[in-house]
Structure 1
Amino acid sequence: MVLEAERWLDLRRFRALRASGASISEIARETGLNWRTVKKYLETDGPVAPPAAAARPSRRNQVIAQYAPVIDAWLRAELLLKATVIHERLVEEYGFTGNYQRVKLYLQQARPRIAEELGYTPSELARLHRRFEVVPGAQAQVDWGDEGGILAHAGIEKVYSFHMTLSYSRDPFCCYTTSQDLATFWACHRRAFEHFGGVPGSIVYDRTKTVVRRHVAPGKAVPLHPEAVAFAGHYDFDIDVLAAYRPTRKGRVERQVLIVRDHVLAGRSFSSLDELDKAFASWVPMRRRTVHRTHGEVIAVRARRDHAALRPVPARPYLVTDRHLRHVGKDCLVAFEANLYSVPAARVFPRQLVEVRASSATVSLHTTVPDENGSTLLAVHPRASGRSVRIVDAEHWRGLPDGHTRATTTGAGDDPADELTARRRQHEQTGALRFLLARSDAAEVKVGRRPLSIYDQITGTGPFH
């Protein structure tokens, strides 16, 4: 192919010979080409193009081509499947020897093709998103932060941070907890509403189990948790659950998690959750004095408009309780979250099934069937923090044996009968066990000795004389 290109260049150089009257055979001998080739190019009108190079298969395409059907099938099932995931699966499941870049380059041309085949938006648009702004009081976003063992030295293994951010002003709220359960999650909402002085029109969540009852396929209606529906109805706000694989719609609060962690927690030590909450509260005025880089206004100025548009907080709070069924132990204790809570012994029996209703601050225990007065409540205890904690009300054990009947007396009363009774009782309690355990006492008992022949005389089995 290189030789042919060189001859083509010679042909262009000696094309002037044709114009001067040289024949085609003379030019062919001069260039070393066949006369038919010379005639073809010299008689062509316009500029002469070089001979097309034969297409050579790329080494990259050779490596990835055999896996193309597999990759295309995965893209049809999930168009936004990441290149790193595809490369990992190819290596583990199909023994792929190529590198990640080969997969990534193939996806650049395969993903738009599959998207067009499925009728989806082109991948160039799928990577972009529309920036949206809301009116004051219209929306807030909620997210959790995992702060790890920041209080491990105080005996608290895990700490979580709850964040709510008003979308219009970016005004933040944060509080710290040791649990992410249902009751704690909605109790944090009540604290956030008090902090802002009102309730936003809607709140954006990801698909957390405290909001979503179960996961469904993309595009289908999301079933909400009954307690989430009841709480939102009481406080009059809408629940906005993000679509699957759409993390950009909650960026305001996700960014806030990092900001609070850097400005409130970094480089400091704390000994309790209360200290963490106070540290955030002292930082909020400083945050509100700053100019936000997105909307270009002082957060406090924009927050005043945001707070004024919020809906009022109801006078009566809605208390969400997380409900569980547990068995009563023989010691009248009920186990919940690795802690023990007592119930009245007079109203329960061993292995009875009771209902545990846990709020963020208390744990109440109820029977599953109302009594004659229609009541199910057995006991209410403060909720334990940590594990292996036993919370017992002494009145719950009233009437149970406490071991006082095992007491013994060694002194004698004035009445000899009392003394005899005391000795007999002491002998009954300690004598039998003492003789079983102390063989030396039994060895000291004197036994009369007699010859064995006397037993033969008594029974008549002795020898005759």
Structure 2
Amino acid sequence: MVKNGEFFVLKEMKQRGMSITAIAKELGRDRKTIRRWLREEYLETYQRTTVKPEKLAPFKAYVRKRMEEGCLNAIVILDEIRSAGYTGGITILRDFMRPLRPQVASKATVRFETPPGRQAQVDWGEFRVDWHGKKKRLYAFVMVLGYSRMMYVEFTEDQRLETLIGCHERAMRYFGGITETCLYDNMKTVVSGTDDQGEVVWNDRFARFASHHGFLLRRCRPYRARTKGKVENGVGYVRKNFWQRVQTFTDLQNLNEQALQWLNTVSNVRLHGTTQERPVDRLIREHLKSPSVEPFDYVDYQVRKVSSDTLISYEGNRYSVPIRFVGHLVRIKDDRRGGIRIYHEGKVIAEHRKATGHREVVQNKNHFDGIRKDSVEKPVGQPSPRLMSNPIPEVAVRPLAVYDQLMDEGVMRS
């Protein structure tokens, strides 16, 4: 093949009047080759037929994501993608990041890093499941501690106020305390609205709950949802990492058991991409506040009377209580996460997993202790007719003088 330099040399030779034979002899080329290239006006460049795969291609989406999160340090990102299998150099990475920097800078929000124990962020995620052959919505409550990135998640039937408060109490027990403040968006169960000065008006009942346990309420700035980015990333992490692992579950309580195991074995023990520490290790430095030891009275109890078969009815299903409470009024507390508790005079007398169907009977065999076995094995029979003897009527015995007297009185009257 004629090289680029030779192409211009033979063109110049021809212009000086040299013959094709002389040019071929001078360049050591075949006359036919010289003649063919002299007919061309320019030299075609060589095209590689196979394209070498780009080493960075599988990692570009991750690099963009990390840049949008605020990490613009190519060395840090290089370490991260190398641990995931990247074999290229930093030059390729920097060339890819360079045009993206202005775009990221225009969208970037300064990451708000909180000191230990200062803030937790709360949000809901919505998930769809196959529930007895029908599509059903479940809701994931997610709380993330700002400093340690420790996460708590549980699935519920709804997002009502009593459900939200119950989730907070269980999250506090899981973390071992609560932060000074909790950050929310404009969820209706927390924010009632704004006053004439534009100040937030908190839901009165939820504000009393926060005061009871000693933490302050904060709302993320309107139209700036990324100020709540830690928990929003947490909801996405639950969706992409935990939810993809769930294949089946028997009821809502079982689903939450799987979520708790995932928290303890995956989410809170992983090396966090931003802090480069495990959340469970940083939790020790959070120095959380202790919540009130007295539970907040947050549930509107449902009152029921225990029937003679030791069962109470709730939402179309029936649940057992100990036999000694037959005829008593009891109160039901539905935690809206797959369990119910039954109270009598402030004490728990029964706990059950919530039935998922309709007209189901949920029983605990221990509730029937005290019922005599013989009363069950030998039921009382129906009364039978009894044969009675027919006695001779008793006749009064009188002296004969009485009859003579009666005869005399009859003659005199006549």
TM-score normalised by the chain length of structure 1: 0.45
Between Structure 1 and Structure 2, the one with more strand by share is 2
TM-score normalised by the chain length of structure 2: 0.49
